[in-house]
A and B are shown apart, each in its own frame.
Chain A
Amino acid sequence: MTQYLLSVLFVLLLLPLNAAADLRVFSCEPEWGALVTELAGDHARVFTATTAQQDPHYIQARPSLIARMRRADLVVCTGAELEIGWLPVLMARGGNPGVKPGTDGYFEAAAFVPMLEVPQRLDRAEGDVHPNGNPHIQLDPRNIARIAPALSERLAKIDPENAADYRKRLEDFSQRWQSALQRWDTEAASLKGMPIVVHHKSWAYLNQWLGLKEIGTLEPKPGVPPSSSHLAELLETLKATPAKAVIRAPYQDPRASEWLSKQVPGLVMIEMPFTVGGNAQATDLFGLFDSSIALLKGAQP
């Protein structure tokens, strides 16, 4: 407790110094906070609304969320309706006209990448359908490469004084990212075609990038327990085409994958980082993909 109070005091002492930072950035998810830090460095003070342990669809209202939203110069979110349950109401309460959607103060990452699983026709009966496609775009590092230049450009636009520095940082980041992409491609070559089961349909972009073969889903609709016929069907499918691993995000309940791994001998249960901060290795965007690939390779014989 004393330690906690001391660290709180320490943070309070630092605040006036940090106030010199030029940009106050509100990031909806950890991956965009990490990207802003890469691209803006000391120029930005980043506040991240959700952690890797939280489902970004839902969020509890804390006073600091509204306070940060009120003072933000830039809001960086995934978009594609991922935050539809809380961002609009938070923006309404924040009352900050500078970061409304459509202004320069609002950056939607999903606008810069090709979306997967965009429904052909909109039908409520289809169930859990995102009309703009699957919003979990951060799991393909090529998407990060697409988003970074646009985000850097936006930073330069709202903070023109430091534009040259943002350009330099983007160049540096892009170079490191390209070489990491090459390294990951070699490392993950053996993962191509690896059959997996997913907890929920949040892995489409990772699957596409690495060529993983998604055989089934444990929980087809979020928050709704799977029916016994769905589970029986899944077990039947797994008999015909055995999967190597069942993967889930840190915020997803492990019970369903535990059940499945007991039913199917040899099936490895993996808790993937899913975003920055999702495990001890995923401290930044590079660590996120290093760790994801290492965990998946660990499930191979």
Chain B
Amino acid sequence: MNTDGLDLAILGPAFLAGLLVLSTHVPLGRQVLRRGIIFIDLAIAQIAGLGVLVAHAMSWEENALTMQITAFSAALLGALALYQCERRWPEILEAVIGTSFILAASAAILILANNPHGGEHLKDLLVGQVLWVDRDQLVPVAMLYALILSAWFGFGASHRTLLFYILFALAITASVQLVGVYLVFASLIIPALSVRRSGRYALFAAYLLGIASYAVGLTVSALLDLPAGAVIVWVLALFGVATSQLIARFTAVPAAVGEGAH
């Protein structure tokens, strides 16, 4: 065991990044689950990465801002294409999402064949590492997420399909760069999955589950000195199973009592 890493200066920014990611991903994830489009985050993230690679291949001027603009534009284009697909062929949407993921990933390999330097940028985009986040990176993401959340809860985006796709693309493109694809997927799906039967308090329970998992995951990763992102994913999964068991028990008991009374 190693107590060196138990330092708020080390774990603090990572935990803040986690809170930010959870703030948008928990409600988005419930919608993703409802629509049955589980792999849309992988597809959107990969398309955002592809956008950056294309920008490099065209040797457009490169700096952090242009890189972000290309990433967000590519993600938005991808999201609009998937939205069109949902409208026209809803029954095959998940298959199209899976296919667009591997198409974007393979296109990246083809572009990289002539420009391996782009690979570093692709890695930067897809493999964000939660421990290496610093506070300066959190500020623009916090502003973006404040906008997304007010659009989400203010305009009822869960009922407006186009708005959902746009907000989703924006949220994912920012979060993969902070915490990486695995944590983004886990933060979206696991809380939503665990609380799907808990009715009124679902959103609250999902937030609580996510926050507890990031806190415990970061602590465990510091104590055992293991890569933080992967540990948080596993803690999320374990806590998720426990939560859904708890919810099942609490919602099942009154029903059983009710049946017994008859």
Residue ranges of A at the interface with B (Cβ–Cβ < 8 Å):
8, 12, 58, 60-68, 70, 85-86, 89-90, 92-93, 95, 124-125, 127-128, 221-225, 227
B2 located at the interface, meaning its Cβ lies under 8 Å from any Cβ of chain A in the complex:
yes
Q: Which of A63, A92, A125, A221 is most buried by chain B, counting CB atoms within 10 A of its CB? A: A63
- Selected from B5, B13, B109, the residue in CB contact (under 8 A) with A224 is B109
User: Which chain B residues lie closer than 8 Å to A62 at the CB level?
Assistant: 5, 131, 221, 225-228
User: Which chain B residues lie closer than 8 Å to A8 at the CB level?
Assistant: 1
User: Would B116 and A64 count as touching, CB distance under 8 A?
Assistant: no
Residue of B nearest to A57 (CB): B120
Given contacts A67-B7, A67-B10, contact A61 B115 (CB under 8 A): no
User: Which chain B residues lie closer than 8 Å to A60 at the CB level?
Assistant: 129, 227, 230
Nearest CB of A to B143, in Å:
21
B98 located at the interface, meaning its Cβ lies under 8 Å from any Cβ of chain A in the complex:
no
- Selected from A63, A90, A223, A227, the residue in CB contact (under 8 A) with B228 is A63
User: Would B10 and A221 count as touching, CB distance under 8 A?
Assistant: no
User: Would B227 and A64 count as touching, CB distance under 8 A?
Assistant: no
Residue of A nearest to B119 (CB): A223
User: Would B113 and A224 count as touching, CB distance under 8 A?
Assistant: yes
Nearest CB of B to A224, in Å:
5
User: Would B227 and A61 count as touching, CB distance under 8 A?
Assistant: yes
B132 located at the interface, meaning its Cβ lies under 8 Å from any Cβ of chain A in the complex:
yes
Nearest CB of B to A7, in Å:
10
Number of A-B contacts (CB under 8 A): 88
User: Would A61 and B132 count as touching, CB distance under 8 A?
Assistant: yes
B9 located at the interface, meaning its Cβ lies under 8 Å from any Cβ of chain A in the complex:
yes
User: Which chain B residues lie closer than 8 Å to A225 at the CB level?
Assistant: 109
User: Which chain A residues lie closer than 8 Å to B44 at the CB level?
Assistant: none
Which residues of B (224-261) have their CB < 8 Å from a CB of A? 225-230
Once the chains are docked, how many angstroms separate the CA of A227 from the CA of B115? 14
Contact size range, B: 35 or more
- Selected from A67, A86, A92, the residue in CB contact (under 8 A) with B4 is A67
User: Would A63 and B131 count as touching, CB distance under 8 A?
Assistant: yes
User: Which chain B residues lie closer than 8 Å to A124 at the CB level?
Assistant: 59, 115, 117
Once the chains are docked, how many angstroms separate the CA of A140 from the CA of B12? 43
User: Would A61 and B5 count as touching, CB distance under 8 A?
Assistant: no
12 more contacts with CB within 8 A, not counting A63-B4, A63-B5, are A60-B129, A60-B230, A62-B5, A62-B226, A62-B228, A67-B10, A68-B4, A70-B10, A90-B132, A124-B117, A222-B116, A223-B112
User: Would B116 and A221 count as touching, CB distance under 8 A?
Assistant: yes
User: Would B221 and A12 count as touching, CB distance under 8 A?
Assistant: no
B130 located at the interface, meaning its Cβ lies under 8 Å from any Cβ of chain A in the complex:
yes
Once the chains are docked, how many angstroms separate the CA of A90 from the CA of B130? 12
User: Would A224 and B112 count as touching, CB distance under 8 A?
Assistant: yes
User: Would A61 and B120 count as touching, CB distance under 8 A?
Assistant: no
B205 located at the interface, meaning its Cβ lies under 8 Å from any Cβ of chain A in the complex:
no
Nearest CB of B to A28, in Å:
16
Once the chains are docked, how many angstroms separate the CA of A92 from the CA of B136? 11
User: Which chain B residues lie closer than 8 Å to A221 at the CB level?
Assistant: 112-113, 116
Chain B, residues 87-124, CB within 8 Å of chain A (1/0): the string is 00000000000000000000001001111110110010
User: Would B134 and A64 count as touching, CB distance under 8 A?
Assistant: no
Query: What would be 15 A-B contacts, judged by CB atoms less than 8 Å apart?
Result: A60-B227, A61-B131, A62-B226, A63-B7, A66-B7, A70-B9, A86-B132, A93-B13, A93-B132, A124-B115, A125-B114, A221-B116, A224-B116, A224-B119, A225-B109
